[in-house]
Chain A
Amino acid sequence: MLSKEEIKLIEKEMAKFPVKSAASIESLKIVQDKQRWVSDKALAEVARILEMPVTELENVASFYNLIYRKPVGRHVIHLCESISCWVMGLEDILGYLNKKLGISYGETTEDDRFTLLPIQCLGDCDKAPAMMVDNDLYNNLTTEKIDDILQKYQ
């Protein structure tokens, strides 16, 4: 269910555009900010507010990799998969994360603490390898550094 606050924020976005459906991506982001992911129920409700068919909004939601249609953990790790990071040791970093957290891409740790996802070029190529945890960027990654970084996120 959407809260009053979410609905208010969505309506504010809608007002910015000549057509309501133009606010679809912003609206999905609003829901995700509050609920961590976008459930079928939430999606249907957003579609009703935007006066869009549910399938059409699903069409949009499923296209963008930063709209989560499955529950994610309390923190999301986005590991940069792009070429500069690959050259600078991405495979070792990924192997270390897999082992340390016991999860592969697309999975969430049992304690619901971390979800691990790949992301395309973070634009920090001169300090590769790089990753984001939630909204924070980390670079020049080493396996030792990862231990310290992950500790900050409980």
Chain B
Amino acid sequence: METPLTKNIIKGKTIDLKIYEKSGGYQGLRKAMSKNPEDITSIVKESGLKGRGGAGFNTGQKWSFVPMGKDAPKEKYLIANADEMEPGTFKDRLLLEGDPHQLIEGMIIASYAIQASNAFIFMRWTYQNSADQIRKAIAEAHEAGYLGRNILNTGFDLDIHLHVSAGRYICGEETALLNALEGKRAIPRSKPPFPQVSGLFGKPTIVNNVETLCNLPHIIDKGKEWYKSLSITDEGGTKLYGVSGRVKKPGCWELPLGTTMREIIEEHAGGMLDGYKFRGALPGGASTDFLIEEHMDTVMDYSSAMKAGSRLGTGTLVILDDRTCPVGFVHNLEKFFAHESCGWCTPCRDGLPWVEKVLNAIENGEGVEKDMKILEFHTSYLSPGHTYCALAPGAMEPLQSALKYFREDFMKHINEKRCPWRNNYA
């Protein structure tokens, strides 16, 4: 089993330029620069690489909307989204801290493909160690001639700038991220225009997730057919999967895309802790629908997770066990979303705090039957199409699936006027 993204990564260490080059680093970039930018986009498109940040859009296709050629704007931007903040997600940290040059090389390749003039890494403040490693790697890459003017004597110029954010989940939404980089409130923009045409400072801009960008050197170096052969199903490549919650060995692993949920939880995470039973999992962060026992053999790729009624999301599973209250679990999620709403669209700004209050009441034994209707009403009222961005629709995914799979638990709270899991606290 090949693990191109993590093959160099040793826990607690950071790969420097020398070791990175020895392991084949920057070969992909050399190959990329011997080709036309448009050819790079085609290869990436045909490799099937999809965005690893959660939305799962074909990366090459995303790039193909950027204006190219003589009439295209001279200023264009490439941005690495390193604002990893989806609750339960800790995969990009591994790549940032362990092998920062892989990201830098991926960014140079992407910048070359869209002919970007400048690139940014949008990093969350709490990833202090990642920021330090990236700063060092940028300096090393400059020194070695991979960044700056006339890169590898091709006439292509590029600088990478690190922006360390001042917080807020919404910054991970790509148009809100652009506003944050421009020094404004991080409020999502209405689309169209899409960032590919009018993004940062009104110029064509591509925003890609860290893991997505880290795939590029390997795709260019070893080819799209090799890349496609890495996955179990036909979607191509590997995926960083993670598990957190009450399992024996929580962690993050690079596995072929299309590994089953059962294999991830039982083999890699070592199964549930003794005395705990599996009740459900959010397969890809807080904004994905619960999957339950009957979905254990679902293969974790984009289309299969969707068929099972959820989404692959970030690929990091959060486990709900039988000794944890599902209402309290969902309340924690909705409290997060209500807090992180940027306040721009009314349904999200007003709806999420309402949901949070209702869940809080149910959890505290003060819920009434009508509350279930209020929650259901919100799952449709805050569904896609009612807001500028995906925050509120994402917030409804765990709620709507919890209402479906854990309805009895909600009703028990309402009927018994208490949380059955909190006997000790009563």
What residues of chain A have their CB less than 8 Å away from a CB belonging to chain B?
16-19, 21-26, 28-29, 59-60, 63-67, 78, 81-84, 86-88, 119-128, 132, 135, 137
Q: Please give, as numbers and ranges, the residues of chain A lying within 8 Å of B90 by CB-CB distance.
A: 123-126
B168 touches A128 (CB 8 A): no
The reply to whether A84 and B245 contact each other, CB–CB distance below 8 Å, is: yes
A24 to chain B, nearest CB (A): 4
User: Contacts A24-B183, A25-B180: A123 and B244 contacting too (C-beta < 8 A)?
Assistant: no
Contact indicator A82/B87 (Cβ below 8 Å): yes
Q: Which residues of B contact A (CB under 8 A)?
A: 84-90, 92-93, 124-129, 161, 163-169, 180-186, 201, 242-246, 250-252, 282, 286, 316, 318-321, 324, 328-329, 332-333, 335-336, 339-340, 342
Residue in A17, A19, A121 whose beta carbon sits within 8 Å of that of B85 in the complex: A121
Interface pair A19/B201, CB less than 8 Å apart: yes
- B164, B182, B336: the one contacting A22 at CB < 8 Å is B182
Could you pull out 10 A-B pairs where Cβ atoms are within 8 angstroms?
A: A23-B183, A25-B183, A60-B185, A64-B168, A66-B166, A66-B167, A87-B318, A120-B85, A123-B90, A125-B87
Q: Pick the contact of A83 from B87, B161, B168 — CB < 8 Å?
A: B87
Given contacts A21-B183, A124-B90, contact A83 B126 (CB under 8 A): no
Closest A-chain residue to B316, C-beta based? A125
Q: Are B166 and A25 in contact (CB under 8 A)?
A: yes
The residues of A that contact B318 with a CB separation of less than 8 Å are: 83-84, 87, 125
Min CB gap B360→A, angstroms: 14
The distance in angstroms between the C-alpha atoms of A17 and B90, with both chains bound, is 31
Q: Is the CB of B169 within 8 A of A120?
A: yes
User: B336 touches which one: A21, A59, A78, A81 (CB < 8 A)?
Assistant: A81
Q: Say whether B245 contacts A87, CB under 8 Å.
A: yes
Residues in A whose Cβ lies below 8 Å from that of B244: 84, 87-88, 125-126, 128
A122:B126 contact, CB within 8 angstroms: yes
> Which residues on the B side are within 8 Å of A21 (C-beta)?
182-184
Contacts of B340 in A (CB 8 A): 120
Q: Given A19-B201, A65-B167, A132–B332 Cβ distance below 8 Å?
A: no
Within the complex, the shortest CB–CB distance from B93 to chain A, in Å, comes to: 5
Q: How far is the CB of A12 from chain B (nearest CB, A)?
A: 13
Distance of A93 Cα from B182 Cα, bound (Å)? 37
Contact status B245-A88, CB under 8 Å: yes
Residues of A within 8 A of B181 (CB): 22
Which chain B residues lie closer than 8 Å to A22 at the CB level? 181-183, 201
CA distance A18 to B118 in the complex (A): 12
Q: Are A120 and B336 in contact (CB under 8 A)?
A: yes
A126/B243 in contact, CB under 8 A: yes
Chain A residues with CB under 8 A of B336? 81-83, 120
Interface centre among A26, A86, A124 (most CB of B within 10 A): A86
Chain B residue contacts of A25, Cβ below 8 A: 165-166, 180, 183
Residues of B within 8 A of A83 (CB): 87-88, 282, 286, 318, 329, 332-333, 336
**A78 CA to B124 CA, complexed, in Å:** 14
Q: Is the CB of B125 within 8 A of A66?
A: yes
- Closest residue to B343 on the A side, CB-wise? A63
Q: Which residues of B contact A128 (CB under 8 A)?
A: 244, 250
Question: B161–A87 contact, CB under 8 A?
Answer: no
Known interface pairs A84-B87, A87-B246; A63-B168 also in contact (CB < 8 Å): yes
Query: Who on chain B is nearest to A128 by CB?
Result: B244
Docked-complex contact A64 and B166, CB < 8 angstroms:
yes
In the complex, A66→B165 CA distance in Å? 9
Interchain residue pairs A-B with the least CB separation, the first 3: A64-B166, A125-B244, A24-B183
Q: How far is the CA of A23 from the CA of B182 in the complex (A)?
A: 8
Known: A120-B340, A128-B250. 4 other contacts (CB 8 A): A84-B245, A121-B87, A122-B126, A123-B92
Closest B-chain residue to A65, C-beta based? B167
Are A59 and B88 in touch, CB under 8 angstroms? no
Specify the chain A residue showing the minimal Cβ separation from B75: A18
Complex contact B86–A121 (CB within 8 A): yes
Q: Is the CB of A121 within 8 A of B183?
A: no
A29 with B166: CB separation less than 8 A: yes
Neighbouring B residues of A23 by C-beta, 8 Å: 183
Name the contact of B161 in the complex, choosing from A16, A86, A127 (C-beta under 8 A).
Answer: A16
Which residue of chain A lies nearest to B242 when distances are taken between CB atoms in the complex? A126
Name the one of B167, B185, B251, B316 contacting A59, with C-beta atoms under 8 angstroms: B185
Contact (Cβ within 8 A) B128 A135:
yes
> Complex: how many Å from CA A60 to CA B166?
10
Q: Using Cβ atoms and an 8 Å threshold, which residues of chain B touch A28? A: 166
Asked whether B126 lies within 8 Å of A86 as measured between CB atoms, the reply is no
Closest residue of A by beta carbon distance from B324: A87
Known: A21-B183, A128-B244. A123 touches B166 (CB 8 A): no
By a CB distance below 8 angstroms, the chain A residues around B128 are: 135, 137
